[in-house]
Amino acid sequence: MSERLRKGALVAAAIAAAVATVVFLTAVARHTRYGSSDNANAVLAGQAMLHGNPLLADWKLPHNSYWLLDLPVFGLASVIFGMGDVALAAVPATIDTLAIILGSMVAVIGLRNRRTWWVAPAVLLILLGLPHNYLVLFILQGPHHVATAVACLGAFALLARAGIGGVRWLVAVGLLAVAAHSDPEAIAVGIVPVAAAGALDALRSRRIAAAAGPLAAAVAALGGSFVLSAVLHAAGGYQALPDPPLIGAWRENLGAVPRILRGLLGPAREGHLSGGALAARTVGAALFAIAIVASMLRSAAGLIRPPSMGGAGTGAEAEPGVGQRRDDSPSADWLDDALLLGFAGGLAVFAVLSDPALQTFNARYLLPSLVFGGVLTARRAVEATAQLPGPAVAAGALALAIAYLPTPLEVARTPAPENPTVAVARWLDGQGFRQGFGQYWVAGLTTVSGGGSVAIRPVKAVDGTLRANEHFASERWFRADRPFRFVVLDTAQPDGVDEAVAAATFGVPAEAHDIGRYRVLIWDRDLTVAYEP
């Protein structure tokens, strides 16, 4: 086989493996749970971007808008798959797969011996691509900061081999600026680690110029995110809602980090695993922890070595074929530090933003830490196995993968949970009702579940009456030409939007129909609610 054919076969195999991973993870996501209005509104926003409103004018988005990260991908998925449960599951599955692919590439940057390079994708596939139920709830639901981690990984990879002003450096700055604007967590897990790793690199190598590229990139990226916000505001783009308040329980939250991370990795009560599945994921979690500790010790050791020994113990150097390293580019150790500090940045975000009562549900803040920690685990694994017999390494990786596989495979084989909003959307469509109101957790999901045939706009109860809920919504929704004729109530979780409040706002309904847990109130006239900008 010629070299060209061999490379072509490898590329084709890689593409096929990536597609298979996306399909598998989509099935796992769909068979674990149906989506929520957070996911659905991301689809609606992305769809609006693709249909002539790229700046999302008249929208109000959360502080972590995901504007240029997840939203366009959700919009594209709605075009490919249509609005529905498949689009809600396929996007996070695709982003998770991208994290595995890009993480595998980053894991071998700068390593001296890449003989067992294939260990990197194997490790990341095991840790991120064969999830159990608790991990599925976060890594296969979106937007949940995974795309943010992917953007930061791309920036780390580019900056690891870039000097100030070069194409790599400029693209990295752009990625970080877009990520920070779209999700402020990128500041903690991307921008700050870039700068701090540059400072550590300068201390380690006793070479001030080593910090120039990363520090300049961090400053430029932060400035770029503010410029992007200013341009968006001047152009009449979306309005970001205020940042959430700091909870102030960071000590308590930091104490919970090991438990929540173990839950994401498997061997904790949140994982609900037992037997062989628990044992296998305990091994994976142990390897993850060992890699983090080893990386920390190596970084600390590098700081106290004499300058002539600064990189000797890291197992990394300039890559073959890259050429002479520029004076203002970081050393090979910089990438490890950036990943390690990005890991710590996710822990910090979790500590300052989590409500202690909701730590289990705030695990999404730790997903960048999981991704960066997984890449560090892959780097250490490639180094550790470089001198071992290939067949033995392959057998060990295969055994661990086989032990991990039954859990997600069992999920994919079980019946998918029924999305109860589908029946509501079908009934409304069959009755000819096209537009109405509902509380936030009803509105977006029902709209997407119905494929757009029925539009339900979010409302909230304020002083005993219903008003427009502008959170993750467009003002245009409440100024539509079609009449609003109904209100959908969630009798199990009304969230303040109940029959008494609806009657106080619109008068006594003409009809009421029960569809599962939902109650549909219908009026024989057009309904309007106040929209307060």
- For the stretch 155-176, pLDDT in tens is 999 999 888 989 999 999 999 9
φ, ψ at 488 (rounded to 5°) = -100, 125
> Using CB atoms within 10 A of its CB, is residue 26 exposed (0-12), middle (13-18) or buried (19+)?
buried
Q: Are 128 and 139 in contact (CB under 8 A)?
A: yes
Is the peptide bond preceding residue 368 cis, with omega within 30 degrees of 0?
no
State the pLDDT at residue 25: 97
pLDDT 10s digits, 493-507: 999 999 999 999 999
- Assess whether pLDDT exceeds 90 at residue 209: no
At residue 246, the pLDDT reads 73
For the chain, the 3-state helix, strand and coil shares in percent, each to the nearest 5, are 60, 10, 30
Lowest mean pLDDT among 120-134, 322-336, 342-356: 322-336
Regarding predicted confidence, which is higher, 179 or 268?
179
- If pLDDT is split at 50, 70 and 90, which confidence band does 105 have? very high
Dist CA 88 CA 32 (whole Å): 12
Q: Is the pLDDT of residue 527 over 90?
A: yes
Q: What is the pLDDT of residue 74?
A: 96
Helix axes 275-304, 390-404, angle to 10 degrees: 130
Percent of the chain with pLDDT over 90: 79
pLDDT digits (tens, 9 = 90+) for 398-426: 999 999 999 999 989 889 999 999 999 99
Q: How far apart are CA 378 and CA 107, in angstroms?
A: 6
Q: How many CA atoms lie within 13 A of 503 on its CB side?
A: 8
Residue 307 has pLDDT above 80, yes or no: no
First to last CA, the chain: 66
Asked whether the predicted pLDDT for residue 310 surpasses 50, the reply is no
In the chain, count of helices (H) and strands (E)? Answer: 20, 9
Q: Report pLDDT for 479.
A: 86
Phi, psi of 466 (to 5 degrees): -90, 135
Checking if the pLDDT of 48 tops 80, the result is yes
Per-residue pLDDT, 7: 82
Q: How many residues does the structure list for the chain?
A: 533
**pLDDT of 143 strictly over 70:** yes
Mean pLDDT score, 70-91? 93
Q: Tell me: the pLDDT tens digits for 348-393?
A: 999 999 989 989 999 999 999 999 999 999 999 999 999 899 899 9
pLDDT score, position 226: 96
238-275 residue pLDDT tens: 999 887 777 778 899 999 999 999 999 999 888 888 89
Q: How far apart are CA 471 and CA 219, in angstroms?
A: 31
Spatial contact of 99 and 153, defined as CB atoms under 8 Å apart: yes
Whole-number Å distance between alpha carbons of 449 and 422: 5
φ, ψ of residue 191 in degrees (nearest 5): -70, -50
> Over the range 313-331, which residues count as b (16 or more CB within 10 Å of their CB) and which as e?
ebbbbbbeeeeebbebbbb
332 has a pLDDT exceeding 80 = no
In this structure, what DSSP letter does residue 119 have? H
Whether the pLDDT of residue 178 is over 90: the answer is: yes
Question: What is the share, in percent, of the chain residues with pLDDT greater than 70?
Answer: 95
Average pLDDT estimate for 58-80: 95
Task: Check whether 533 has a pLDDT greater than 70.
Answer: no
Q: Is the pLDDT of residue 327 over 70?
A: no
| Cβ count within 10 A of residue 218 | 25
C-alpha–C-alpha distance, residues 483 and 282, integer Å: 56
User: What pLDDT was estimated at residue 42?
Assistant: 96
User: How many whole angstroms separate alpha carbon 93 and alpha carbon 99?
Assistant: 10
Report the mean per-residue pLDDT for the chain. 92
